[in-house]
Structure 1
Amino acid sequence: MRMNKIKSRLIVFLIFMLTFVTGYSASNEIKVGMECGYAPFNWFQDTNKNGAVPTNGGYCGGYDVEIAKVIAKKLGKKLVIVKTEWDALLGPALTSGKVDLVIAGMSATPERKQSLLFTKPYYESDLVVVVKKNGKYAKAKSINDFSGARITGQLNTLHYDVIDQMKGVSKQTAMESFPAMIVALNSNKIDGYVSERPGAMAAQYSNPNLTFISFDKNTGFKYETSEVNVAIGMKLGNTELEEKVNKILDEDLTPKARQKIMEKAIKTQPGNTSRSFFEWVAFFIQKNWHQFVKGTIMTLFISLTGTVVGFLIGMVVALSRQVEAEADNRTSKAKKAGFYILNKLFAIYIAVFRGTPMMVQSMVIYYGLSQVFGLNLSPIVAALFIVSINTGAYMSEIIRGGIDSIDKGQFEAAKAIGMTNFQTMKSIIFPQMFRNILPMIGNEFIVNIKDTSVLNVISVTELFFISKSVAGTYSRYYEVFIITSVIYFFLTFTLSLLLKQLEKK
């Protein structure tokens, strides 16, 4: 009986570790990816009000969520919403197995059909241009009435491509989200942006100073209807799931039912009440303080762990190079060859991870390992791995420089009295080297606190990810990121003071 209990606990522990490390999900789950930042299709909120579903760092609600709930129920599976950046939704999230479906107001364009499989449309729409209600272009009737206007659209969408049809406009750089475009429009950085009608209606609802211009067939954009109607994306070859979802769309999500869901979504999306700057700041602190705390704790955990593990990696790399440098005639050829090959590999590792941005490394490691090797890391484990190996590359050079700063006479004196390399490093070199490089180690920790912000591309719920989610819900980037800046400054400034005290000791 005792052995059975031990075995049972061991099995439970192994299942837990599998779930934590690999992001393993039960077969009765359906993982649906969406931005949670494109009202009324999907948005981020801090409670489960109006049927919102838990997601990374909070809850996600909207039209897409309601559609996903119906599909999950009919499939007999538990719904899991995975909040993911738009670029990642367009392939990596699906092809790497991070999500099963993408329900994110995405159109089935010919380009996307080459890499993704799409269902029948689950919403029919058209293209409009969102402008300021009292602006220069508020009375436009045709797409050719925007001469001189600064127009943009969402990155990697038809919205951005059709701007080329507007004569005389100044096509601006594509933006990654609709909340960002609303902020740009309110800040007079642009004069308008192309959107689908539901998104424009939601923008107008939450921003009374905005309106949208709709067109008929003769005055509007030229495009195929299939390129505007939004559909559900899935991995190529998954025809069985496609057939099941299409059946649900035909039988349970009729056009009339979908219209009711959309009307409800527009009415229940988070509002944008008129407030002053300080009232907005107070509102976000009062309403979302627990999310900011959660994001701050995650940022500290990842940066601290990454710095400590990176330091250990750097020590191994630096000491290996030191041993090779100190090899003499008494060292066997096999050991010399082994250290030579190992250090060449270390040199490549340092060059690659110091020569590429951490954001690129995050995308390659998180999605690439899953897609190519089937290693499905959870976002947290991937984040710890990415920050650690990135920091290790920098730490190895810092430690090497610290060792080189010690007078060579101390190495020779240690050898003269019969000390081994290990004894020399442990008792003589390392204590002095650590004291010398402590400021640089502290700098790496501070850099890691700030650099964890790039991990939002793999949906890690650190401080920047939380802040971006909150800002996108209300389209109030300035107020939210002022709060975020204060938190980052408090973390780095406090850490700097603590490190100075440690240096004095």
Structure 2
Amino acid sequence: MKHKITAWMTLFMVIVLAFSSLVHAEGEKKTVILGTSADYAPYEFHKTMDGVDTIVGFDIEIAKEIAKDMGAELVIKDTSFDALLPELTSGRVDFVISGMNPTEERRKSIDFSDSYYAAEQSVVVRKEDALKFNTFESLEGARIGVQKSSIQETIAKTIPGASVISLDKIPDLLMQLDSERVDAVLAEYPIAKTNMDEATMVITEAKPEAEVDAYAIGVRKGNEELLNHINATLTRLKENDQIQKFVDEASDLAAGRKSENLNTFQFFWKYRDYYAKGIQFTLLISALGVLFGFLLGLIIALLRMSGVKILKFLATAYIEIIRGTPMLVQLFIIHYSLAAFDIKFSPIQSGILTLSINSAAYLAEIFRAGIQGVDRGQLEAARSLGMTKSKAMRHIILPQAFKGVLPAIGNEFVVIIKESSIVSFIGVYDIMYQAQILRGSTFAPLNPLLVAALIYFILTFVLSKLLGVWERKLSASDNR
């Protein structure tokens, strides 16, 4: 028995060490971490370069120059635009470049560099509405699409009677325009020109009052050393007219992107490497989430059934709180809010931890129901034979309880695989993250999502069948 316990403890320690070392294989070289939202061509966007998915754009070229002047290696962290400030203030990234305006509201939480570029705002409409919305005043009462947390959102809210629809991604906004869910999209001219479908859309003559907006680089409050490095690099680039060169090169690179007429299976085969990478991350996070959730759920179930009131209260409170709050909120609290207490997890670790603690609350109730479903007389019989309560629970009660609740446990495991998609919000390269990358880089609004849905279905279907086989094997003895 001691050898078995030692083996299980060794396996558990190996898993814990592997978990703690994820995304921490850093070298000795100094690094500087850039936060960006790579869906904003030509500022920053994904493009396949020499067969490798690469984040490119003129913002990225500026960041490379900053890192070079600092003698550091640049690490790029891609996330949604409205998550950039939490990433920066929590210390997960060192600076932010993402076509960001230095508004007064943002200056309350972060510092900004000198401005490095300015672009005009533009209004994109469907071709048939070009005359209808040919002035900015004509947008009164219209449905306006803007990127969430952007200067365009602020401008749109000043339009009398306008209904403002805010989304994370520019391609999503243009898809809303194409499907007639919005009447116009407010975006910067380079962004609109690069991303819109010129066959069905047009940039109108309408001009917002704030026609030109400057962009700056964000750093954490009080980080004067980094801010001085950034300003020195920007001064050098502006003096040599390098930034405009970066803009022209990035615009040409972005203009080379074409919409492809592929069916769903052709799309999957062409971009299978993206999805293969996403499947690896999804399976890793789901498997570890299931493992830790299973162990934690069993412990919580036993605590809730214990005779110690404080332990029972804590276990009950845990279950009710976790089941009563959205998993996405739990993910953001773990990933961003705990950083204020200097508790920082990598995106993968945050994802695994969130899935584990969420799943544990549901599994605890499943285990409790299974244990209570076993005839109490069996525990009493085991005790009368001289077995301790813990041995009786381990050898008599738990095996029967586990067999009885296996279908419910299997259903929870299937749910975990599907709900693991939320980790894409914090920059984990799972299946949904890869689908969002492909939506922005290929102009395909539907195929990336259809492929992702098909992959999730295959994973959950196969798992369900395997669990069914296991369940039949365990119940074989009952049919003899």
Query: Do they superpose with TM above 0.5?
Result: yes
2:186 corresponds to? 194
Other-structure match for 2:270: 287
Of 491-500 and 159-168, the range deviating more from structure 2: 159-168
Shift of 1:23: 7.8
Check 1:310–1:164 CA distance in 2 against 1; reply closer, same or farther (3 A cut). closer
The answer as to whether partners of 1:270 and 1:473 remain within 8 angstroms in 2 is no
Counterpart residue number, 1:221: 208
Cα distance per residue 1:417-442 (max 9 Å; x no partner): 33211121122211110111111111
Distance in 2, matches of 1:261 and 1:357, equals 42
2:287 to 294, 304, 308: 304
The equivalent of 2:129 in structure 1 is: 136
CA root-mean-square deviation: 2.4
1:420 and 2:391 matched: no
Point out where structure 2 has 5 or more consecutive residues left out of the alignment.
1-16, 474-480
Q: Does 1:28 align with 2:23?
A: no
What corresponds to 2:64 in structure 1?
A: 69
The one-letter amino acid of 1:309's match is: F
Question: Partners in 2 of 1:304 and 1:499 — Cα distance?
Answer: 14
Q: 1:375 to 1:303 in 2, by over 3 A?
A: same
Aligned to 1:252: 237
Task: Please give the alpha-carbon distance, in whole angstroms, between the structure 2 residues aligned to 1:172 and 1:224.
Answer: 19
Pick from 141, 146, 154: which aligns with 2:139?
146
| 5+ long unaligned stretches in structure 1 | 1-14, 325-338
> What are the superposed Cα offsets for residues 309-349 of structure 1, whole Å, 9 maximum, x if unpaired?
1111111111223332xxxxxxxxxxxxxx32233222222
Q: Tell me how far apart the structure 1 counterparts of residues 28 and 332 of structure 2 sit (CA, whole Å).
A: 24
Q: Partner residue of 1:268? A: 253
2:43 alignment partner in structure 1: 41
Within the candidate set 429, 450, 458, 1:490 is matched to 458
Which position in structure 1 is the counterpart of 2:228?
A: 243
Which whole-Å CA distance do the structure 1 matches of 2:217 and 2:21 have between them?
27
Partner of 1:253: helix, strand, or coil?
A: helix
Greater alpha carbon shift after TM alignment, 151-160 vs 372-381: 372-381
TM-score normalised by the chain length of structure 1: 0.85
| Separation in structure 2 between the aligned mates of residue 158 and residue 277 of structure 1, nearest angstrom | 35
Deviations 1:99-152 (A, max 9, x none): 1110000101110010010011111112111112x2213564321123553212
Among candidates 315, 318, 327, match of residue 349 of structure 1: 318
Partners of 1:315 and 1:73 lie apart in 2 by 51
Scaled by the length of structure 2, the TM-score of the pair is 0.89
Paired with 1:345 and 1:289, the residues of 2 have a C-alpha distance of 46
Secondary structure in structure 2 of the residue aligned to 1:79: strand
Q: Aligned residue for 1:10?
A: none
Deviations 1:279-332 (A, max 9, x none): xx35532332111011112111211221121111111111223332xxxxxxxx
Amino-acid identity (%): 35
User: Any idea what SS the aligned residue of 1:166 has?
Assistant: coil
Checking the alignment, whether the CA contact within 8 Å between 2:48 and 2:54 is kept in structure 1 is yes
Q: Could you say which residue in structure 1 is the equivalent of 2:101?
A: 107
Residue 261 of structure 1 and its aligned partner are, at CA, apart by 1.2
1:335 paired residue number:
none
Equivalent pair of 1:129/1:212 in contact (CA under 8 Å): yes
Q: What is the match of residue 327 of structure 1?
A: none
Name the structure 2 match of 1:211.
Answer: 202
